[in-house]
Structures are given as C-alpha cells and as structure tokens.
Amino acid sequence: MQFYSSPSQPPNREQRHEDIFQKIDLSLAPEIIGFSRRETELKMLENWLLNKGKSRLISVLGVSGIGKTTLVKRFVDQHLDRFEVIIWRNLKFPESLTSLVNDLLKVSEKEPKGTVSDRLKQLLGFFTEKHCLIILDDVQNLFTRGALVGQYERDYQDYQNFFRAIADLEHQSNVILISREKCREMECLDEQLYPIKSLELSGLEDVEILRTMGGGLLKDEDNWLKLIQLYQGNPGYLKQIAFIIHNIFDGHVADFLAENSLIITPEMQFGFQQLFERLSPIEQQLILELSQLDKPVTREDLTESLQLSSMDLINGLQSLQQRYIVTKIRENRLLFKVCPVLREYLIRCQK
C-alpha cells in the first residue's frame, strides 16, 4: 500500500492549509508497461473528472482485453496530484459492500462508526469534504451469472443503491467503474444534465499497438494493419497472437495471415467459455443463432428463425449489446451481428 504526503499544492486547486492531505493506495492497481492511441479517451476522462461540473460516476466499458484498466491506470498515473485521496480496488473476487466501505474509510484514516447506514453516510460525507477518486475494477462480477445483463447477485444488491447515491448526492468526489457489462446505474439518457458518464471502448486500428507491445517480435510491417483488423484491434487478443507469430512463424506476419484462419488461442477460448456461461439461456440461443449466419441480420430475421417471444428477443438483444459482443449496423434497416472472433469460437467450440 502506497501512502504519499504531498509537500506542495496540487495544480489548479483552491488554496488550503499549508500541509496538504493526500492518501494514495494503488496496491491493487496494475503496472502499465505499454500504452498507445487512446489520447481522445484520456482527454474525455480529464474533462469529466477534472473540469467544472465534473461527473461523479463514470463507467469505462468494453470486452475483455480492449484496454479498459490500462486506460484508467494511465489517467491515474498522469493526475496523481489532482486528488486528495485515490484508492483502487478490484472486484474479481467481490466483497460485501460493508467490507468495501470499511476498507475505504480505513485507508482514508476514518474509523468506521455505527451501523452500515452510518458508515455509508460517513463515507459520503468524506467524499464531500475531500476530493477523492475511487476506482472499482471488474464490476461485472457483482452481476448474476445466467441472467440478463446487470442484475446484481443477492449478496451484492447493496452496491446498486451505493452507485445511485454516488451519482445522486452532491459531493466533490468521483467513482470510476470498470466493467465488461453495463448496468442501469451506468446509463443516462441525457449526460449533459446528470453527473453520469459512460465511456465505451472499441478496438484500435493503428500499427502502433503492435509496436508498443514489442514490435521487435514481428516482421512484415506492411501486413500489421491486416492482422489488427482480423482481431478487431483488441490489444489483449493481439498480444497473444503476436507471441504465436513470433514462436511458430519466426515473426512473419505474412506467413501467419497466409494460413487464412482465425486462430483462437487457449486463453481466448477460456475467456469466451466463461463469457458464454454468464449469458442467460435467451442470450445463448440468440448468440448461437447469430454465429451461424455469415452476414448481419434484422430483428425480423431472428424472429422467424427462433421460437422466442417479442419481449425475450428484444431483451436478449439489448443485453448482448450491453455486454459488447453483439453490435448493430445502421443501413436501410437496423442489422445485428456477433463479434467475429467470438463467432469463430462459437462455430468451433459450441456446436
């Protein structure tokens, strides 16, 4: 656990006491080795978190490997002196809200008092008193497996009210939620009026991705963009594939592409299997049907091919989009398609 006492006043901050209060706990935050081409997203976070009228609840969303955690950690590293308290927590193995609140209070040097309700009021009061930044990673683990997206497990339902309170009550602090799934508390129809923002990350189409993750491993730079597009600009996928190309093809990207096959690594297969098991039965039907189709389809097409009610079909499509594994395409009609890399896995492994 890292604790810092800042001897000087943070930039662009109101004048305060001579000794500046600062507590930083990044003991559970990852170290960032390489970072590329997310300057626009960094600027958005800066505007939301540091400018006047800043947002209190921000979600950074997208599929596994797309760079959510890397982006947030990069922002934190660049702005350590802009907050009085920074705490990073990972919910890969979630704890109760009571335990989390106690933890946040203790790191902030506040002794937890009274009931759970008293401690929540104590924490929110501290968020008003100090400029805090709290990051919660892997928030999707609060949600129920086998159900539509964003439904909280029974043991973690208190988090829903906690997130609402963060957004609704006036204070000067910020909470960032990093998740592969979107829940209702992360949504806002008018982000100009409410202090809630969502940043949905998509793939990157820039050869700089491969260069920053070890460009010396790969050859045939003229083919790098084709490789990136094949794996949808997902840095996590590309890192795994880069090692395969280095080990099996002596770094020759052109030879790998000549195989004319979308390779799904064991690590990808494990991740996709976990993802599939998190889906509701309705979503599993939809995603398997979409994977059998070689082109985007309309909602009417899916209605004809599946024995689902209109309500189940609509809710299922909405849920899959909020997991970022089905996307929509606006042409003459609204079309839906499954992520190509996931589609390849489903064709091969979920027959």
User: What DSSP string describes 185-211?
Assistant: GG--S-TTTSSEEEEE------THHHH
Paired tokens of 338: 């499954």
CATH of the domain at 330: 1.10.10.10
**Is 18 part of any domain?**
no
Q: What is the pLDDT along the chain (351 residues), one digit of tens a residue?
A: 443 333 333 333 333 444 567 999 999 999 887 777 799 999 999 999 998 657 999 999 999 999 999 999 999 999 999 999 999 999 999 999 999 999 999 999 989 888 889 999 999 999 999 999 999 999 999 999 999 999 999 999 999 999 999 999 999 999 999 999 999 888 876 666 678 999 999 999 989 889 887 667 899 999 999 999 999 999 999 999 999 999 999 999 999 999 999 999 999 999 999 999 999 999 999 999 999 998 999 999 999 999 899 999 999 999 999 999 999 999 889 999 999 999 999 998 876
Kindly state whether residues 37 and 173 are assigned to the same domain: yes
Based on the domain organization, do 145 and 291 belong to the same domain?
Answer: no
Name the nearest CA neighbour of 67 among 96, 95, 97, 45.
Answer: 45
Supply the pTM of this predicted model.
0.91
Is 239 among the domain residues? yes
In terms of phi and psi (left: phi > 0; alpha: psi -120 to 50; beta: otherwise), the region of 146 is left
6: in domain: no
Bin 156: left if φ > 0, else alpha if -120 < ψ < 50, else beta: alpha
248 in any annotated domain:
yes
> Are residues 258 and 275 located together in one domain of the fold?
no
Residue 344: domain span: 267-349
Considering 262, 277, 308, which residue would you say is the last residue of a domain? 262
- Is 292 contained in some domain? yes
- Domain termination site, one of 152, 178, 200: 200
Query: Domain check: are 147 and 173 in the same one?
Result: yes
Same domain, 195 and 249: no
What sign results for the dihedral spanned by CA atoms 276, 264, 202, 179?
A: positive
Asked if residue 293 belongs to a domain, the reply is: yes
Residues 70, 216, single domain; the answer is: no
Statement to judge: residues 50 and 192 lie in one domain: yes
Which of 207, 202, 350, 348 lies closest to 264, judged by CA?
348
Last residue of a domain, one of 200, 234, 251: 200
8's CB contacts (< 8 A; 6+ apart) are 20
Shared-domain flag, residues 243 and 340: no
Whether 317 is covered by a domain: the verdict is yes
Let me know whether 284 and 221 are in one domain.
no
CA distances from 182 to 32, 175, 186, 268, 313 (A): 25, 15, 6, 21, 18
Tell me the CATH number at 176: 3.40.50.300
Give the per-residue SS3 of 81-107.
Answer: HHCCEEEEEECCCCCCHHHHHHHHHHH
Indicate if 32 and 159 belong to the same structural domain: yes
- Asked whether residue 47 falls in the same domain as residue 176, the answer is yes
Neighbours of 242 (CB within 10 A): 23
If asked whether residues 109 and 163 sit together in one domain, one would say yes
Answer whether residue 175 is part of any domain. yes
Q: Count structural domains, the chain.
A: 3
What pLDDT is stored for residue 17 in this prediction?
44
